[in-house]
Structure 1
């Protein structure tokens, strides 16, 4: 093999409480689980060939290695792109109603988009974005 396919299959996040993640993503945001093993892992299909895996942090550390802890935000964001500015506001309102914390108000970005962020139960930041450019259109369903 002289190359690796250009794709992502799983995005795996270590979480403190798998049940709290299930409540947030499934019960409150309305997402459908593909696999749920209580106390271990919640997997949600988030694209045609992409799965979000929310894995118990102790099991994550046992397999992957120690998690860096401390103040601040995890150095990763996940994005949920939408087709309009109004959808950005609607998704952020839904996240707020679901108990997301924090939830920021959307703002016009210097690159021409309109985005805001919310945090999941472990503080992972989700960007809700309207991106009018060609790359923004590529990711819309």
Structure 2
């Protein structure tokens, strides 16, 4: 199997609220959308983020369990520390449930966090060096 990730799917409780956050609040442009069922965004050259309505997801994958912090984070890397702060401000204005201010990290980067309407945790980071060069267009 080729080492590759093509699609990340997050199951969401209220697709309309999720759409308001990502499209109306953060200004993202949908790649594909089936009203009330799924909302997809191109998030990389060959990577799609799919936001799937819970009732439709449950039909295919079975019961969805909620509660607590999901044991996964998503990351949005940017080229500068100022951009980290700007993205966190955008998330706050968009209605992010939680915004954790960015700080300098012991690994040499600078990052903070926000949650989307379903509590999915997004890290916004500036990673200097080789990793940053790899993940920032």
- Please indicate the TM-score interval, normalised by the length of the shorter structure: over 0.9
For 1:119, which of 115, 119, 131 is the aligned residue? 115
Matches within 5 A, 1:1-141: 4-70=1-67, 72-141=68-137
Unaligned runs of 5+ in 1: none
Shift of 1:63: 1.1
Aligned residue pairs, count: 137
Unaligned 5+ residue runs, structure 2? none
Which portions of structure 1, spanning 4 or more consecutive aligned residues, are displaced by more than 4 angstroms? none
Measure how far apart 1:115 and its partner are.
Answer: 0.3
Q: Distance in 2 between matches of 1:98 and 1:66?
A: 29
The Cα offsets for residues 54-102 of structure 1, whole Å up to 9 and x where unpaired, read as: 00112212211222222x2111111000011111001000110111110
Alpha-carbon displacement from aligned partner over 1:20-62 (angstroms, at most 9, x marks no partner) = 1111111111111011111100011111111100001122122
